[in-house]
Amino acid sequence: MDASQALAELTELSSQVKRAVVLDASGAILGATDADAAAAEELARAALDLVGAAGDVHASPDEVARVEVELAAGGLFVLREGGLTIAATTGPRPTSGLVAYDLRTCLRAIDPPARKGRRGARARTGEGEG
């Protein structure tokens, strides 16, 4: 499934996730729960900044797998896996393990863009042959 579908499923199943965005390896937005592009960009920028800060403290940004910040008004979670990054906001006092599980499940449901593209290329090539 694509990122938008996975995010729709995430917000339907997780009562704790308020907003979320999925980024590819280059930081481009693949999908967002916000219809407002500026709000999605803001969340994406915050996620990348947070990963960068974590990478400055430990190892490098490429090695950061999960970052979480809890504020009085809510939390910000960032998970990275398989070349994708997901960032999500929550309400106050989120259940960290459950939110992380939901976000990881969302990422794993997304078809990798490279594999998805190869399937389409094979189908197009096969149609023209024989």
Burial class (CB in 10 A: 0-12, 13-18, 19+), 126: exposed
- Output the pTM of the full model: 0.81
Among residues 59, 54, 115, the alpha carbon closest in space to that of 79 is found at 54
18-22, 51-55, 104-108, 109-113: range with lowest mean pLDDT: 109-113
Q: What is the CATH number of domain 3-123?
A: 3.30.450.30
Is a pLDDT exceeding 90 seen at residue 16?
yes
Residues 57-104 have pLDDT tens digits of 876 666 788 999 999 999 999 999 989 999 999 999 999 999 999 999
Judge contact between 11 and 121, C-beta under 8 A: no
